Amino acid sequence: MENRAFLNPCWRRALLKSTALLLLWLAIAASFGGYGYYLAPGGYGQNDKIEGLVGFLGLGVAVGTLLTGGLWTLSRVTRGRTTRFSALLYLALWSLLSVILTPCVIRVGTAVSPVPIFGGQHRSGIIIVERRAVECALATLVLFGLTILLVRRSHADGSHESGNPNQAKTTPR
């Protein structure tokens, strides 16, 4: 017996979109982690490289969450599936989630690290990374928020929120 849901083009499009967002999120997090490992901000010892990897991976998870969440929310607004107010709430939730995920990733990375990291004076590195995540969250909230407020919503018949572009516009006198 074959699965008819897989043959549905809308379902396949949604699956491809979700997969693309997940791959984008993974690519952002991995590129931040790679940057942190190969260009460690401290010295060049093994501890510094792993510390850079974990810290930048936490920041990469935050940035990836912000960008993919913002793109997902923006696509819902342009397709008319959510209101602008709900979209702004979604953005606030994505921002909060990214700020919460950053120290969680650093904590897990510290726990599984083969060498001790973020100890002593390096402990302030966690606060620095978290501050950068908050800055990214606020910037994303402002930029995607402005974009959501300014974007035109499209409808199923091809018309836009301001009316059908093919119709002649008349101005009242």
Instruction: State the pLDDT at residue 163.
Output: 43
Question: Does residue 30 lie within any of the structural domains?
Answer: yes
Q: Is residue 99 part of a domain?
A: yes
pLDDT of residue 37: 87
Determine, yes or no, domain membership for 90.
Answer: yes
Total structural domains within the chain: 1
Of the pLDDT bands very low, low, confident and very high (cuts 50, 70, 90), residue 103 is: very high
Indicate whether 160 belongs to any domain: no
- Can you give the pLDDT at residue 172? 53
Q: Which domain holds residue 123?
A: 21-150
- What is the distance between the alpha carbons of residues 65 and 88, in angstroms, rounded to a whole number? 15
Q: Does 4 fall in a domain?
A: no
Does residue 6 belong to any structural domain of this protein? no
